[in-house]
Amino acid sequence: MARVVVDVMLKPEILDPQGQAVQRALPRLGFEGISDVRQGKRFELEVEGPVDEATLARIHDLAESFLANTVIENFTVRVEEAAEAVK
């Protein structure tokens, strides 16, 4: 079983009020030095069987059709590497 991650983010030219709200709150909360925050969605898909080119292409279609609104959002598809996290 492999995990494929689809990240969906608003396009850079689209206003992101959620991210702005976080960014504006940070100095008040004592966190300086962060000039921008964007908030998006992360989908973790558990895929049965091997993740080959065909599977990734299928998940790409899936993301394009159902997970992202490609008018206002960009998305990326990637196989999750183990132990990539800092925490």
* Contact flag: residue 73 with its own copies (CB under 8 A): no
Among 14, 24, 27, 58, binds its own copies (CB under 8 A): 58
Helix (H, G, I), strand (E, B) or coil at 5: strand
* Contact flag: residue 48 with its own copies (CB under 8 A): yes
Q: What is the CA radius of gyration of the chain?
A: 16
**Sign, Cα dihedral of 74, 68, 52, 80:** positive
State how far the Cα of 28 lies from the Cα of 80, in Å rounded to an integer: 35
Among 14, 24, 69, 76, binds its own copies (CB under 8 A): 76
State how far the Cα of 1 lies from the Cα of 61, in Å rounded to an integer: 20
Shortest gap between Cβ of 52 and its own copies (angstroms)? 12
Among 15, 71, 82, 85, binds its own copies (CB under 8 A): 85
Of residues 5 through 34, those in contact with its own copies by CB under 8 A are: 7, 9, 19, 22, 25-26, 29, 31, 33-34
